[in-house]
Structure 1
Amino acid sequence: MVMRFGILVFPNVQQLDLTAPYEIFASARGCEAHLVWKDRRPLASSTGLQLTPTATFDDCPPLDVLCVPGGTGVNPLLEDAATLDFLRRRAAEVRLLTSVCTGSLVLGAAGLLEGRKATSHWNALDLLKHFGAIPTVGRIVRDGALITAGGVTSGIDFGLAVIAELLGRDEAETVQLVMEYAPAPPFHSGLPQGARPEILAAAKNRLADSRHARERIVERLTQAKAR
């Protein structure tokens, strides 16, 4: 029996948010991974990599796992009715509802995080509270059938954890070994608490435009909900 993984793909997605779990899901025995969007036209990630959807909202097969990655392209999705409706429909059917990085904000905008623990990229974690979620620091955060992962590279750990959950530790470890995933970063600035102050300031400055745009969208959504 085939286990199906669906990963939302959209313009300006952070490609590693998507490709890291995709590589793991597609590499596990008896699994197939689908890139799902409104149509099958190729689209560009936030860094220009061209990606081609393999299924649409209308013809996507039944899924065991649904994953929403993040990136600058998340901002318009927070107010995109077609995307949010698709997520609401499929959330009721899948075994695991998941996200990587700021993809959790989209789940929140769809009303799927109310009262639940969730994580996101460190630069967006605080925004989760506006969707009724409980912001929780962690590389992988689980609340029942909801699994959210932190920023970008956490998608690798997350993917392996999902495979272990569904197919067992042996399969997850086999995939990890095939990929030679044995991280040994040359620097220890991958989280704010480990970065030098000037590096943290530079990173926040680089993310500022997307963050400010996201704040304005979240404010609109919050005000609309309060009416």
Structure 2
Amino acid sequence: MTDMPATTIVFLLFPGITQLDFTAPAQALSRIPGAILAGAAASLGPIATDSGFSILPTHDFEGCPQADILCVPGGHGVADALGDAATIDFIARQAAGAQWVTSVCTGAFLLGRAGLLAGKRATTHWAYVHLLPLVGAEPVNARVVEHGNVVTSGGVTSGLDFALTLIARLRGDAVAQAIQLAIEYDPAPPFIGGHPDRAPAAVTAGLKARVYDAAAARMEQALTG
């Protein structure tokens, strides 16, 4: 395993990122033999996450190495990042030389703003999937969607599914299964209801009213305004 070629995996970081969108796939992808991880942001200052703590980037946009795998996480900060030309330019430049272009959750809209989802099947967090046509994508109700070298995943925890799917493409099923076992990814949630297709209707309606109706409207405004 030590003679495996190096694989550079670049994660975009931005204020308001959902930390698990980044840290969950990073944990799995970091275990690929030969993996080199980088977290790139507009500057090297701390990046505030949605969880009350910050992450330090390893590189700024100018100093970031070329990604073999580009991963764009999501979060409520995406709506602001959509209007940042430096961020979108970084995504487009990195994607042009990457073997794989990927996103977690609402990171799909940043790929879309960079012109990378036009005519492609894609997914995102369930509360925003109806907005994917605004970036030219065909919405798919799935946790992981592959279209050519573009891999999109659903909300938050779907990042682990995407990471293991991609590891299997890169290194084979046995390596992906070993990594899944190493991180003990064996979901047995206490409730069956992590998606509106299965959650109680009242729970879905309440969450949409409290959080996601306004958040999706803000995202739509950022995409169209």
Q: Which TM-score band applies after superposition, normalised by the shorter structure?
A: over 0.9
CA contact (8 A) 1:37 1:55 kept: yes
> Residue in 2 aligned with 1:225?
none
Indicate the RMSD between aligned Cα atoms, in angstroms: 1.0
> Residue in 2 aligned with 1:110?
114
Query: Which stretch shows the higher mean deviation, 196-205 or 211-220?
Result: 211-220
Written as runs of structure 1 = structure 2, the 5 A alignment for 1:103-142 is 103-142=107-146
Give me the whole-angstrom Cα distance separating, in 2, the residues matched to 1:202 and 1:8.
31
TM-score between the two structures when normalised by the length of structure 2: 0.95
User: Which structure shows the bigger proportion of residues in helix conformation?
Assistant: 1
Offset, 1:168: 1.5
Offset, 1:144: 0.3
Offset, 1:17: 0.6
Written as runs of structure 1 = structure 2, the 5 A alignment for 1:10-159 is 10-159=14-163
Give me the whole-angstrom Cα distance separating, in 2, the residues matched to 1:181 and 1:132.
33
Q: Does 1:211 align with 2:216?
A: yes
- Structure 1 counterpart of 2:221, one-letter code: R
> Residue in 2 aligned with 1:173?
177
Specify every segment of 5 or more residues in structure 1 that has no aligned partner in the other structure, as ranges: 221-227
CA contact (8 A) 1:25 1:32 kept: no
Give the match's secondary structure for 1:192. Answer: coil
- Structure 2 counterpart of 1:181, one-letter code: Y
Give me the whole-angstrom Cα distance separating, in 1, the residues matched to 2:59 and 2:170.
23
CA contact (8 A) 1:70 1:100 kept: yes
Give me the whole-angstrom Cα distance separating, in 1, the residues matched to 2:8 and 2:50.
26
Between the aligned residues of both structures, percent identity stands at: 42
TM-score between the two structures when normalised by the length of structure 1: 0.94
Specify every segment of 5 or more residues in structure 2 that has no aligned partner in the other structure, as ranges: none
Give me the whole-angstrom Cα distance separating, in 2, the residues matched to 1:218 and 1:165.
32
Cα deviation code 1:42-86 (max 9, x no counterpart):
121012121110111101112110010101010011111001111
> Residue in 2 aligned with 1:224?
none
Tell me the matched-pair count. 220
Give the match's secondary structure for 2:97. Answer: coil
Offset, 1:90: 1.2
